[in-house]
Structure 1
């Protein structure tokens, strides 16, 4: 399925455009609400039937029972040990619940949901070939123009606020407090009409690189970009929008409660401000070291980069998963080069980095339970 956006002038990409020749300018337009991003590579799953919301509620981390028509939320499907399997953007239209997921995630999500149907009145369908998503921010020309094309459903990202039942680990003013990303789902055959808004000059097209940069600056986690096989929600401050701490039992809930109430997440997501003197950005998976140790072949890393971008205001920035116990004022450096993610490879160029704390090292342990004296 070739996206018509790849036929627009300057488009660079294979499945969707990563940029259209001017990624920094595209960021500015996207943030101002005057550009849209083609997300037609993302997956779309629908669940219909009278039991759909209570059934999804019983399996995932968010309060979905009683979700009103048109209301947007997000939820996580965890494994029995609390690790993230699927990050799901959810909106219900009154008859069908739409589950929006990252690229290539829809088949696995459908397979799991079909295994869990039992005798419940639900129908699951992978609608990725039938529908496609685009994203825009509020405040400019893009959203009004897209709404006029009558999308099938609209999902409004809740990241700007702590949702009911959630909690925020980060301290102070949150950089995502003005986040207004909105995903609009159109029949796939209408995607050329959406691209026509760009060809006519009504809106501008922005690539996925522009969206990545804005997400990184807003501390907005992404499953494809940031989650690995060990990830739990607490490491990303995802309890603020994707987890309801008082909803009761679901798969992985024991880990969520135990880490939040009694323990600490083993890693913490951190924003890194990168030295831009060499104009180099680290690759995803690049290893992070304490300053002065990155050049040693036998040095032990303290974390890894998940995503990096050149932001139009902040310069080089990155999200990194770091060891929880690493002091927040520790100067860091990141290995560059093609072998940056290989701890045994010869060290390449080093990029100095400073931490901006997203998840503090003392996150969790909210219940002060005294230890019993041992005999």
Structure 2
């Protein structure tokens, strides 16, 4: 099997350490879109938060309602700045003894530093567990069939502006079913099933599953198609949750005080976030190379946003997630470099 690593193509990439593709990125994408494939995402950082007060502690520090997070349940959370800007995003997976947080490659150190600063006298012991657990993702419509005992993800609707206090259920807005698996955990998520397995057992788990391997390029194409934001790609230093579509999965809008809550509440009730996340279709005529992260999106003679992640999709062609000004109309003709781009209004 041909294995092309991310760092072979881009030595500076934050995604170094996993395969970009296995020789045929388009075939790998089709597998993830129509069946099920296995993506090695073991470059993700993992933190462990044991301690009897972990649920209530994480509840007070993050955007998610976690005080009642029960054993073998997962969700998503954000850590915000005092002004409401997104600083961290993580999946949380509770096994009854420890809350496991997996986040972007390189983001774990910053998240751990913040958690350690906020310990005070709380009975929790956060630590870096990246060397302990590796993340593998089973992606595709057939992923759930391999774990039929895991329930479909449950994601609540975002309430409208000026919703009545107490109308949002006091529970995590996204609830992911979890079970033990091969010395680790399996977690049902919107794109399939994530496995958090002992790093020493990663190769054995891959061999046992016997699934077609797909590289990170294929995974990113599916993620972009489904408009799933990624910390550091669809966010910058001033991103607020409503701008990058984090509200539904990672933010509870009626759970009480946390850092940055005032900004989240004000923007939501006014209904006017300064920017929005969109899916763009690029003409692909000027170049067949996806634009780089951060490439400006231009309307007329003014810059209106930036490209987050751009990919070549096996059906849709060149597409990209971008963060643009809220007042840019859906029918605007946009330019990204020499390419013409249009907003997918779906």
Task: Give the TM-score, by structure 2 length.
Answer: 0.83
8 Å Cα contact 1:113/1:124 also seen in 2: yes
CA distance in 2 between counterparts of 1:155 and 1:288 reads: 41
Residue 126 (structure 2) aligned to one of 109, 118, 124: 124
Residue correspondence of structure 1 range 87-126 to structure 2 within 5 A: 87-126=89-128
8 Å Cα contact 1:19/1:207 also seen in 2: yes
> Within the alignment, does 1:283 sit opposite 2:271 as a pair?
no
How large is the Cα RMSD of the aligned pairs?
2.5
8 Å Cα contact 2:26/2:314 also seen in 1: yes
SS at match of 2:252: coil
Alpha-carbon distance change, 323 to 220 in structure 1, aligned in 2, over 3 angstroms: same
SS at match of 1:223: coil
8 Å Cα contact 1:157/1:182 also seen in 2: no
CA distance in 2 between counterparts of 1:181 and 1:56 reads: 25
> Within the alignment, does 1:83 sit opposite 2:59 as a pair?
no
Task: Give the TM-score, by structure 1 length.
Answer: 0.77
Q: Which residue number corresponds to residue 204 of structure 2?
A: 193
Alpha-carbon distance change, 240 to 334 in structure 1, aligned in 2, over 3 angstroms: same
CA distance in 2 between counterparts of 1:272 and 1:17 reads: 26
CA distance in 2 between counterparts of 1:9 and 1:330 reads: 42
Alpha-carbon distance change, 276 to 138 in structure 1, aligned in 2, over 3 angstroms: closer
Residue correspondence of structure 1 range 292-307 to structure 2 within 5 A: 293=300, 299-307=301-309
- Segments of 5+ residues of structure 1 without an aligned counterpart are 1-7, 149-153, 170-177, 294-298, 336-349, 359-375
SS at match of 2:88: strand
| Structure with greater proportional strand content | 2
Q: Which residue number corresponds to residue 238 of structure 2?
A: 230
Moved more, 110-119 or 132-141: 132-141
**Higher alpha-carbon Rg:** 1
- Segments of 5+ residues of structure 2 without an aligned counterpart are 8-16, 162-188
Residue 6 (structure 2) aligned to one of 6, 13, 17: 13
SS at match of 1:45: strand
SS at match of 1:220: coil
CA distance in 1 between counterparts of 2:309 and 2:152 reads: 20
